[in-house]
Amino acid sequence: MTRNFKRFEKYVVVLILLLLPTQLALHFWPGWSFVFGIRVDLLSPSIYLTDILILTLLFLNPEIFRNYKKYFLTVLFFAFVNCFFSASPPVSVYKWLKVIEIVFICLYFVKQRVVRFSSIVTTFFISLVVVSLIGIAQFIKGGTIGGILYYLGERTFNQSTSGIALVSLGGIEHMRAYSIFSHPNSLAGYLGATILFILLSGKLKKNITNVIGVLLVLVCFVLTFSISAYIGIFVVFSYYLFSGNKQYFSRIVIVSFVVFVLGSLLLPLLSPWIIQTFPLVEKNIYQRLDLAYISGQIINQNFLIGEGLGTFITSIPFYKGIFSYSWLLQPVHNIFLLIFAETGIFGLLTFCYLIFKTIVRQLKTKKLYYLLPLILILFTGFFDHYTLSLQQNMLLFSVFIGLSFNARMT
């Protein structure tokens, strides 16, 4: 019976990793998922297919709650305080349930033994190739594919759809690759971090099939036209060149992490000066700086425990932007500011401590296949929020953190 349970658990883990990029979900629309009558996807409580698989994994491994009781109790205590003072308690309750799920999946992969490391790499790669093929096909067609891909979470749109992400090539507008993600940037972040993990692990067999698969992933990555991901890959490659010098490399990585954090905290203060000093052609740059400025106001009003997890969007209309009140209903495009605004200084310090501890561990163990993807995630997190707001990217982040502390996952 135990052997059968272990075999079933192995299938569940493989399915989770295989379906990690999917966003098939059942969405609910209570009143608190609307902001002044506008329906906001990020506020909608949703049950994803991956949630069901993770819940199955929880039933198979209830001892994780017992073994790590102090961690879960700490999370629950802070969640209670944060929800009690939240600007929208129902939103915060739902988001904290997601945090508990993420903590569970992270701790599970710390001790995971049922799937070998090579099988994890292979599963990630198969999933990545399928996702990339969908993204490439969408770019060529100029719209989504439809059909069975709906059950992977593909949404229906084309390059004429209002609000769709476009790129101009030779004076002709093309739809950027979305695949089964909600935005090309989150797709780029997922592809970049995962292909780095796969290639640096050294576990991918060198044959023509896998070479073609890697090329497909790289082509799809390019077709996302995500500038932050492009720059992030370049930065990570630069780090890789210095990785041979352990002492120098360690200093660069740690200093970079400090710069990410301090640069994020200075952004609300510098945003008005940047906008007034440098003419900004790109509208989205102005919007991101405006959201950073608003985050500074929220932090100033809720320094200790934050506005409430998940409530940044609901709070935006109550804070004045750089020139006017903002109706851009998105989270601030910086993960450090987002955590600070929603969970206060205690949440920010806890997050930074956990990331710093992870970085130090990987520097000691010299596992670049965990460290460099983490650096890419943090770099793109300086410019976007999807690492902490979208299901696929959140789960990938937690799986990577868990695996990086698993001594057998090498």
Work out the pLDDT band at 281, boundaries 50, 70, 90: low
CA 266 – CA 191 distance, rounded (Å)? 29
- The amino acid at residue 254 is I
Q: Whose structure tokens read 């599970």?
A: 108
Q: What is the pLDDT of residue 245?
A: 82
pLDDT band with cut points at 50, 70 and 90 for residue 261: very high
CA distance 358 to 373: 12
Contact 24, 9 (CB under 8 A): no
Q: What percent of the chain has pLDDT over 70?
A: 97
**301-360 confidence digits (pLDDT tens):** 999 999 999 999 999 888 888 766 566 789 999 999 999 999 999 999 999 999 999 999
d(CA 116, CA 118) in angstroms, rounded, equals: 5
Question: 10 Å Cβ neighbour count for 7?
Answer: 11
Phi-psi region of 399 (alpha: psi -120 to 50; beta: other; left: phi over 0): alpha
Neighbouring C-beta atoms of residue 367, cutoff 10 Å? 17
* pLDDT above 90: percentage of residues in the chain: 74
The two beta strands, 38-39 and 46-48, are unpaired
Can you spell out the DSSP letters for 173-235? EEEPP-TTSSSHHHHHHHHHHHHHHHHHHT-S--SHHHHHHHHHHHHHHHHT--HHHHHHHHH
Model confidence at 283: pLDDT above 80: no
pLDDT for res 325: 57
Confidence grade of residue 243 (pLDDT, cut at 50, 70, 90): confident
pLDDT for 257 equals 96
Residue environment code for 249-259, b if the CB has 16+ CB neighbours within 10 A, otherwise e: bbeebeebbee
- Please write the tens of the pLDDT for every residue from 43-60: 999 999 999 999 999 999
Q: Minimal CA–CA distance to 381: which of 404, 358, 352? A: 352
Using the predicted structure, report yes or no on whether residue 109 has a pLDDT greater than 90: yes
Whole-angstrom distance, CA of residue 217 vs CA of residue 28? 33
State the pLDDT confidence band at 240, using cuts at 50, 70 and 90.
very high
Stretch 398-408: mean pLDDT? 91
Mean pLDDT value across the chain: 92
DSSP letters spanning 82-100: HHHT-SSHHHHHHHHHHHH
Q: For the beta carbon of residue 311, count every other beta carbon within 10 angstroms.
A: 26
pLDDT of 242 reads: 87
Buried b (16+ CB within 10 A) or exposed e, 134-149: bbbbbbeeebbbeeeb
Of 30, 27, 26, 35, nearest to 312 (Cα)?
Answer: 35
Q: Is the pLDDT of residue 127 over 50?
A: yes
pLDDT confidence band for 100 (50 / 70 / 90): very high
What is the structure's pLDDT at 1?
Answer: 47
Q: Bridge-partner residues for 34, per DSSP?
A: 39
Model pLDDT, residue 175: 95
Count other Cβ atoms within 10 Å, centred on residue 10: 16
Question: Do the beta carbons of residue 272 and residue 322 sit within 8 Å?
Answer: yes
How would residue 267 be classed by pLDDT, with cut points 50, 70 and 90? very high
Domain borders along the chain are: 2-258+341-404
Q: What is the pLDDT of residue 326?
A: 60
